[in-house]
Amino acid sequence: MFQDMRTKYNAEQKSSPTPSQESLASLAPPPSPEHPLGPAAPFCPKPFCVYAGHTSDLLDISWSKNYFVLSSSMDKTVRLWHISRGECLCCFQHIDFVTAIVFHPRDDRYFLSGSLDGKLRLWNIPDKKVAVWNEVDGKTKLITAANFCQNGKFAVVGTYDGRCIFYTTHQLKYHTQIDVRSTRGKNCGRKISGIEPMPNDDKILVTSNDSRIRLYDLRDLNLSCKYKARSRRRSRTTASTS
């Protein structure tokens, strides 16, 4: 799948932008649909704001508590936005597709990025540089999901071969890992598509492309519960909590 993405990107012959090349502004919103939603609809048919700047498909988005937005793309960059501004505030260059990004839950001056080069990076936004980084071990190093857990104490990444790997946030040192698989081992090695910490609890929701949502207890790393969804081959499944 990722090789197909690279082929598509290379065929478009688009170079990755740099901060000096940025000349971005909000675009005019698209016209309203022919059949606008009624007053009881949960979303307004007209977008609040539209940003442009990436030169290829978006792969992930993260919101901060202070209304900053991060976007990552196949153009190998992460871009920082704010809802009060029409232009890109900063561009963070990577060497491969950036598949996962997330703000630190307690300090949005920092964010975590995961890339297909197998590296997870903790970025310092004011300094515009990587504060600390580490690389995933194993034959398959492709990072496909990332998040923080336990209120930012640990950073956790999901891999293409079905592992959730935990690192201490301070130095990104390896802590432990969970091999996400069925109890019979039938669905082992499936790509991790989402990681979501449970608020005020030592548990995380992990989604994978075997159409399962698994709830793990971080105190003993045991599987607490499993939910099975309808089988889908190409769509990305993620879970969230209310």
Rg (the chain; Cα; Å): 19
- Residue whose C-alpha is closest to residue 206's, from 178, 183, 235: 178
- Round to whole Å and give the CA distance between 33 and 140: 44
Q: Diameter of the chain by CA atoms?
A: 54
Please give the single-letter amino acid code of residue 86. G
- Residue whose C-alpha is closest to residue 137's, from 177, 90, 109, 187: 177
49-193 CATH: 2.130.10.10
Q: Is the pLDDT at 233 greater than 50, yes or no?
A: yes
pLDDT digit string, tens, across residues 1-52: 656 656 665 666 454 444 433 433 344 444 445 455 566 777 788 888 889 9
- Residue ranges covered by each domain of the chain: 49-193
Q: What is the pLDDT of residue 234?
A: 59
